[in-house]
């Protein structure tokens, strides 16, 4: 054995890589003919010698004789599939790679070429296994970044043309994942679906035979499906995994455009193969001599401790590795945003007044949303014209920002740089800057078209507009919105063979513009938004500090949206506003009490979106008290471990708990939707506390001191009365 790192071991004979994390093992190897094949992913393999002892790999199989290999491996109870399957030979499933070589050959055979173990800039072990095509000048680097303490692997691939002639890629996915073969049960899929105002709805479905596809073809991540999956093992006797127990394999893709995750099941024994990456529908990429195509990362993990642990591992990975480092450890400020009150109807004077009132509440970041630029009195005009409206702000933004800063708040601004209205100076000057097909209509959404960021001059224009705004004004935060999916995805000026590259080029240009602006203005924080939560994914979380999950701010609906969000994404990144009790979008038309609205919104990054002009002194004092309370628990909510104690999907009661990593403090939110049938009280059992320590419990009728053990076994009895009742309970270890 060649011991390269405790997390990455290579056994030269017979040619096996064992990736080990605290609690999991991931094993793959090379067969005698050089194929790199997956062997195992799941609970830890305790003794590395076992790997060789089992003689896991197939022997002496000729290239292309896939059946021989498959039968040999199946007899050993293993997954007989290539680690990164290419389309060719007898492979009929979803290929990670589909390429066309010179002369139209579309059959690929990838074999082992070399491998290397490195350390990433963030100190993590990284394995790179390079495959090469047996005949044509193509190489694929398979990257495996191991996050040992979080039981995660981040994988991506680099496809390289090492020859002179062009190679066309029709699919280049990030990674393939293979689950262990099992019998007497079925893998069950958990994923997030939705639509505008109803994002991140959790669904559990038994995986049917054949292929299940989760995807977006919209050039944005989409509200309809989120690039996250979890699979657990379900059987009729024991059911599937729960929040805190059971085996779960899970993953999320770091890509903010069109994407695809396919899950293929074949039964007896149950086998599941997952492939994911940039959507291949409509995808084409030309690899010229010496060129490379780098796929987005696909991060996945395994846990034996249920969906809750899967989420906590993903959350910690975002806090410790993924979120932009400049802000990752900073607490997210309390926001005020008047969008839902005034929409486009405001001016300098109104904003001055709002700023005074917001400061009294304890707001830390005062934001002006859509409407501050061009002639923007409605959503029909001015997208693209990023100059301050002379009508609304005759003195520019300067005086307002100065006032906001004097009041002790930071100032933030909304932009939607990827969109343009036909009625704008930008579109009049550059009608060719939008995606379009000649002689076809240019479909509009909210009267907006989509700028073609694949064109370098468009990306430069956007950079320059933002650069100017940020250099001339003391802006601390940008809300970067994007409010439409793509239609007529044409780029008529580009050479025909490059026209379909827009899906990738748009997203990489977006990331690049934001990264360049971040580098130049490191103090600025960035929020991603897309008609609510239509661009929520690990790609955005790598480049932005927080995300707007939904335009639906109804506090009860939000419990469901926020729960789904938390399956994959960290609470710190999730922005929740308390809005008018009837909701600006008049969603559900229900007037709920302030306490419940705050308790619903306090579970991530808090914002207020109410009409502050309507506040009475008493109401203002109440709001200020909630904001003070939020600030006191904010470090636990934003940086703690989340336990979804009771799901709102199960009934009338819901509960969430956030525990500080050292288990010295925790907060519990309990919500009750409806009181009916003389609702008998239910105890809520906590998780993740130190059983040996005593905790002071505040927020019940009287303060008590109880052991962590009892809180986790007997549980708490929250006192809730009436409909839409809620409680916030604080625990402090003594």
Residue 641 found at the interface with ligand GLA (CB under 6 A): no
Q: State which residue, 380 or 673, has the beta carbon closest to ligand GLA.
A: 380
Write each residue from 474 to 513 as x if it is in contact with ligand GLA (CB under 6 A), else as -, in one continuous string.
Answer: -------x-x------------------------------
What is the torsion angle, in degrees rounded to the nearest 10, for the CA atoms of residue 29, residue 34, residue 37 and residue 39?
A: -30
**Shortest reach from residue 551's CB to ligand GLA, in Å:** 5
Dihedral Cα 385, 386, 388, 392, nearest 10 deg: 60
Task: Select from 186, 384, 204 the least CA-distant residue to 272.
Answer: 186
Q: Tell me the three state secondary structure of residue 395.
A: coil
**529 makes contact with ligand GLA (CB under 6 A):** yes
Q: In angstroms, rounded to a whole number, what is the distance separating the alpha carbons of residues 570 and 642?
A: 9
Work out how close the CB of 605 gets to ligand GLA at its nearest, in angstroms, rounded to a whole number: 14
3-state secondary structure 259-286: EEEEEEEECCCEEEEEEEEECCCCCCEE
Q: Which residues contact 702 (CB under 8 A, 6 or more apart)?
A: none
What residues between 611 and 640 interact with ligand GLA by CB under 6 A? none
- Residue from 151, 247, 270, 370 touching ligand GLA (CB under 6 A): that is 370
Q: Which of residues 404-463 bind ligand GLA (CB under 6 A)?
A: 414
Instruction: Point out which span in 236-244, 525-533, 535-543, 613-621 binds ligand GLA (CB under 6 A).
Output: 525-533
Minimum separation from the CB atom of position 277 to ligand GLA (A): 27
Nearer to ligand GLA, 364 or 369 (CB): 369
Compare residues 270 and 416 and give the one whose CB is closer to ligand GLA: 416
If one counts every other C-beta atom within 10 angstroms of the C-beta of residue 143, the result is 21
The answer for 371, left when phi > 0, alpha when psi is -120 to 50, beta otherwise, is left
Q: Which is nearer to ligand GLA, 9 or 483 (CB)?
A: 483
Whether residue 107 lies in the annotated active site: no
Residue 251 or 532 with smaller CB distance to ligand GLA? 532
Strand partners, 167: 287
Which residue number is nearest to ligand GLA in terms of Cβ?
Answer: 370
CB of 130 to ligand GLA, least distance (A): 43
Q: Which is nearer to ligand GLA, 532 or 539 (CB)?
A: 532
Minimum CB separation of residue 461 from ligand GLA in Å reads 20
Q: Are 39 and 52 in contact (CB under 8 A)?
A: no
Contacts of 144 (CB under 8 A, 6+ apart): 8, 19, 26, 126, 127, 128, 129, 153, 154, 155
Shortest distance in whole angstroms from residue 606 CB to ligand GLA:
16
- Give the position of tokens 């490379």: 292
Q: How far is the CB of 196 from ligand GLA (least distance, A)?
A: 9
- Alpha carbon distance 440, 188 (integer Å): 43
Rounded to a whole number of angstroms, the minimum distance from the CB of residue 164 to ligand GLA is: 48
Residue closer to ligand GLA (CB basis): 140 or 341: 341
Structure token digits, residue 383: 């997208």
Count of chain residues binding ligand GLA (CB under 6 A): 11
**Among residues 82, 551, 554, 557, which one is catalytic?**
551
Contacts of 303 (CB under 8 A, 6+ apart): 23, 24, 151, 247, 248, 250, 309, 310, 313
364 lines the binding site for ligand GLA (CB under 6 A): no
Q: Are 335 and 377 in contact (CB under 8 A)?
A: no
What is the smallest separation between the CB atom of 417 and ligand GLA, expressed in angstroms?
Answer: 13
Whether 481 is catalytic is: yes
575 is a site residue for ligand GLA (CB under 6 A):
no
Considering the complex, what minimum distance in angstroms separates the CB of residue 131 from ligand GLA? 43
User: Considering only CA atoms, which of 524, 728, 540 is closest in space to residue 637?
Assistant: 728
- Where does this chain touch ligand GLA (CB under 6 A) — which range of 64-72, 223-231, 507-515, 524-532? 524-532
The region of 254-262, 528-536, 579-587, 669-677 touching ligand GLA under the rule CB under 6 A is 528-536
**What's the residue count for the chain?**
734
Give the active site residue among 232, 280, 481, 537: 481
Q: Which stretch binds ligand GLA (CB under 6 A): 153-161, 221-229, 527-535, 553-561?
A: 527-535
Q: For the chain, give me the number of helices (H) and strands (E)?
A: 15, 38
Applying CB under 6 A, does 232 fall inside the site for ligand GLA? no
Q: What is the torsional sign of CA 93, 98, 101, 106?
A: positive
Select from 33, 221, 531, 600 the one that contacts ligand GLA (CB under 6 A): 531
Going residue by residue from 332 to 351, which x/- string records binding to ligand GLA, judged by CB under 6 A? Answer: -------x------------
Q: Which is nearer to ligand GLA, 270 or 481 (CB)?
A: 481
Is 282 in contact with 198 (CB distance < 8 Å)? no
Which secondary-structure segment (H or E) carries 489? none
Of residues 346 and 671, the one with the C-beta less far from ligand GLA: 346
- Unique residue bearing structure tokens 């079925």: 186
**Which of 720, 713, 728 has the alpha carbon at shortest distance from 679?**
720
- Which member of 199, 369, 501, 557 binds ligand GLA (CB under 6 A)? 369
> Considering only 304-312, 315-323, 526-534, 711-719, which stretch makes contact with ligand GLA by CB under 6 A?
526-534
Cβ 699 to ligand GLA shortest distance, Å: 32
- Using CB under 6 A as the binding rule, whether residue 532 contacts ligand GLA is answered as yes
Strand 605-608 versus strand 335-337 pairing type = parallel
Alpha carbon dihedral 486, 286, 293, 17, in 10-degree steps, equals 120
Residue 551 in the binding site for ligand GLA (CB under 6 A): yes
Secondary structure, 3-state, 675-716: CCCCCCCCCECCCCCCCCCEEEEECCCCCEEEEHHHHHHCCE
Selected range binding ligand GLA among 281-289, 316-324, 529-537, 707-715, rule: CB under 6 A = 529-537
Which of 556, 410, 412, 572 lies closest to 481, judged by CA?
Answer: 412
Active site positions, annotated:
481, 551
Interacting residue ranges for ligand GLA, rule: CB under 6 A = 339, 369-370, 414, 481, 483, 529, 531-532, 548, 551
């Amino acid at each position: 054995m060649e011991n390269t790192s405790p997390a990455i071991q290579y056994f030269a004979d017979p040619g096996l890589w064992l990736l080990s994390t605290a609690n999991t093992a991931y094993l793959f190897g090379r067969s005698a003919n050089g194929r790199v094949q997956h062997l195992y992913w799941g609970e830890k393999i305790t003794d590395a010698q076992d790997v060789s002892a089992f003689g896991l790999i197939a022997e002496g199989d000729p290239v292309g004789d896939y059946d021989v290999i498959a039968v040999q491996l199946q007899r050993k109870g293993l997954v007989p599939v290539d680690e990164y399957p290419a389309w060719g030979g007898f492979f009929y499933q979803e290929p990670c790679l589909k390429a066309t070589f010179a002369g139209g050959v579309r059959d690929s055979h990838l074999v082992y070429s070399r491998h290397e173990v490195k350390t990433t800039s963030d100190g993590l072990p990284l394995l790179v296994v390079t495959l090469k095509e047996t005949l044509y000048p193509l190489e694929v680097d398979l990257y495996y970044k191991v996050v040992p303490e979080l039981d995660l692997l981040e994988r991506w691939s680099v496809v390289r043309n090492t020859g002179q002639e062009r190679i066309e890629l029709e699919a280049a996915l990030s990674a393939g994942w293979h689950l262990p073969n099992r019998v007497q049960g079925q893998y069950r899929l958990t994923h997030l679906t939705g639509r505008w105002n109803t994002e991140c709805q959790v669904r559990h479905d038994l995986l049917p035979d054949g292929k299940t596809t989760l995807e977006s073809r919209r050039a944005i991540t989409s509200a309809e499906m989120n690039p996250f999956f979890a699979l657990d093992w379900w059987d009729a006797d024991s059911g599937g995994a729960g929040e805190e127990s059971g085996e779960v394999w899970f993953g999320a893709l770091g890509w903010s455009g069109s994407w695809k995750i396919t899950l293929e099941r074949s039964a007896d024994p149950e086998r599941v193969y997952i492939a994911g990456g940039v959507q291949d529908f409509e995808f084409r990429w030309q690899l010229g001599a010496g060129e490379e195509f780098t796929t987005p990362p696909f991060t996945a993990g395994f846990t034996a401790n249920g969906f809750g642990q899967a989420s906590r591992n993903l959350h910690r990975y975002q806090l410790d590795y993924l979120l932009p480092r400049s802000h990752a450890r900073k607490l997210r400020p309390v926001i005020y945003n008047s969008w839902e009150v005034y929409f486009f109807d405001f001016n300098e004077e109104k904003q001055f007044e709002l700023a005074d009132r917001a400061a009294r509440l304890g707001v830390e970041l005062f934001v002006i949303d859509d409407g501050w630029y061009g002639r923007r009195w409605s959503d029909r005009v001015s997208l693209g014209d990023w100059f301050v409206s002379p009508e609304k702000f005759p003195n520019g933004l300067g005086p307002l920002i100065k006032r906001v800063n004097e009041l002790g708040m930071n100032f933030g601004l909304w932009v939607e740089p990827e969109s343009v209205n036909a009625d704008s100076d930008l579109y009049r000057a550059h009608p060719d800057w939008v995606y379009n097909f000649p002689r076809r209509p240019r479909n509009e959404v909210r009267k907006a078209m989509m700028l073609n960021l694949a064109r370098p001059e468009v990306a430069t224009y956007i950079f320059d507009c933002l650069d100017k705004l940020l250099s001339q004004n003391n802006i601390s935060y940008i809300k970067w919105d994007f409010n439409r999916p793509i239609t007529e995805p044409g780029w008529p000026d580009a050479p025909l063979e490059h026209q379909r590259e827009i899906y990738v080029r748009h997203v990489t240009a977006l990331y690049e513009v934001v990264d360049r602006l971040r580098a130049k203005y490191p103090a600025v924080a960035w929020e991603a938004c897309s008609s609510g939560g239509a661009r929520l994914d690990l790609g955005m979380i790598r480049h932005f500090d927080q995300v707007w999950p939904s335009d639906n701010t109804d506090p009860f609906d939000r419990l469901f949206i926020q729960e789904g969000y938390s399956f994959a994404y960290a609470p710190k990144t999730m922005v929740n506003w308390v809005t008018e009790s009837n909701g600006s979008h008049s969603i559900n038309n229900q007037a709920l009490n302030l306490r419940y609205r705050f308790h619903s919104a306090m579970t991530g990054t808090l914002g207020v979106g109410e009409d502050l002009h309507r506040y009475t002194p008493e109401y203002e004092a109440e709001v200020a008290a909630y904001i003070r309370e939020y600030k006191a628990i904010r470090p636990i909510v934003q940086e703690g471990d989340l336990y979804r104690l009771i799901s709102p999907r199960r009934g009338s009661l819901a509960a969430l708990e956030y525990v500080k990593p050292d288990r010295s403090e925790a907060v519990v939110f309990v919500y009750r939707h409806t009181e009916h049938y003389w609702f008998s009280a239910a105890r809520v059992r906590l998780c993740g506390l130190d059983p040996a320590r005593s905790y002071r419990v505040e927020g019940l009728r009287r303060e008590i001191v109880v052991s962590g053990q009892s809180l986790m076994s007997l549980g708490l009895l929250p006192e809730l009365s009436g409909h839409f009742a809620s409680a916030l309970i604080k625990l402090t270890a003594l």
